Amino acid sequence: MACSLSLMDRKMATNFLVHEKIWFDKFKYDDAERKFYEQMNGPVTGSSRQENGASVILRDIARARENIQKSLAGSSGPGASSGPSGDHSELVTRIASLEVENQSLRGVVQDLQQAIAKLEARLSVLEKSSPAHRATAPQTQHVSPMRQAEPPTRKAAAAEDDEDDDIDLFGSDEEDDKEAVRLREERLRQYAEKKAKKPALVAKSSILLDVKPWDDETDMAQLEACVRSVQLDGLTWGGSKLVPVGYGIRKLQIQCVVEDDKVGTDLLEEEITKFEEHVQSVDIAAFNKI
């Protein structure tokens, strides 16, 4: 029983060592490295051997750190977030993303600062160039001590010269006024002539008349001839037709066009009803402005 337990322990230890990443041959490589450096640098004393041993230890520590960093970087797989290594990798990625975002925000802030500086510069230039700023700006007069008091004769001469400049000897303003008046009158005359030549619009109306006879024995052709015999200035006769009324009686519907200023409906009815032998009455069936 004890032998079987010891064999099982050995197998478990062997399996553990097989799966464990242990560098069993490290001492061989260390000896080879030490011999290489001894050949390059000559014989090594006790103190140099101690320094070489310390350097070897430091190199081992650096390699171990590199291996740890590589393992942490490679442990960002699907199941890495369940352990502490996964948390560490997630933290590293968050820090990296925050650094990138921070740098982009810094760039945006710098751009905004530059834009604000440009706007302030432009605003200051506009304020300086505005007329209100010029009006409010204090005006300082620098008077040299040699020109503080001018002789009165020079001032009087300068005032006379200004008065002479104000007087227009040639009367150019009056001539300009006369020319403007003449042009305006000429344009008004041309407009009046053009308006007089333009034909005036004549108001016309279209009238449909119902002319009724006395009875069915009335000659409608003679009645129409009587109606058309009415001739007035501004009256134009149009088409006509006979419309039955009842009991064999028919009325005459006739179209005419009249000028409103010359012919009225009352005058037209009066002229048609003069034919008493044929015409009983005249009615206006339709009246339209043209």
Residue 274: CATH number of its domain: 3.30.70.60
Whether 256 maps to a domain, the answer reads yes
Q: Please indicate whether residue 68 or residue 9 has the higher confidence score (pLDDT).
A: 68
Q: Note the pLDDT tens digit of each residue in 28-56.
A: 778 888 888 777 776 555 555 555 566 67
Q: With the C-alpha atoms ordered 111, 116, 117, 123, is the resulting torsion angle positive or negative?
A: positive
Percent of the residues in the chain that have a pLDDT greater than 70, as a whole number:
65
Q: What is the pLDDT of residue 103?
A: 87
Domain count, the chain: 1
Tell how far CA 20 is from the center of its chain.
72
Backbone φ, ψ for residue 257 (5° rounding): -120, 130
Whether 127 maps to a domain, the answer reads no
Q: Note the pLDDT tens digit of each residue in 116-165.
A: 999 999 898 888 887 655 555 445 444 444 444 445 555 555 555 555 55
Tell how far CA 221 is from the center of its chain.
76
Q: What is the pLDDT of residue 60?
A: 79
Whether 219 maps to a domain, the answer reads yes
Q: What is the pLDDT of residue 28?
A: 77
Q: Note the pLDDT tens digit of each residue in 202-260.
A: 789 999 999 999 998 899 999 999 999 999 988 999 999 999 988 889 999 999 999 98
Cα gap 270→217, rounded to integer Å: 23
Residue 10 tokens read as 């050995």
- For residue 59, the one-letter residue type is R
Q: What is the pLDDT of residue 67?
A: 79
Q: What is the pLDDT of residue 224?
A: 93
Task: Inform me whether the pLDDT recorded for 11 exceeds 90.
Answer: no
Whether 130 maps to a domain, the answer reads no
Q: With the C-alpha atoms ordered 281, 287, 240, 275, is the resulting torsion angle positive or negative?
A: positive
Task: Inform me whether the pLDDT recorded for 194 exceeds 50.
Answer: yes
Whether 234 maps to a domain, the answer reads yes
- Where in the sequence is the domain holding 235, given as residue range(s)? 211-289
Task: Inform me whether the pLDDT recorded for 26 exceeds 80.
Answer: no
Residue 236 tokens read as 């134009």
Whether 280 maps to a domain, the answer reads yes
Whether 215 maps to a domain, the answer reads yes
Whether 71 maps to a domain, the answer reads no
Mean per-residue pLDDT of the chain: 76
pTM: 0.34
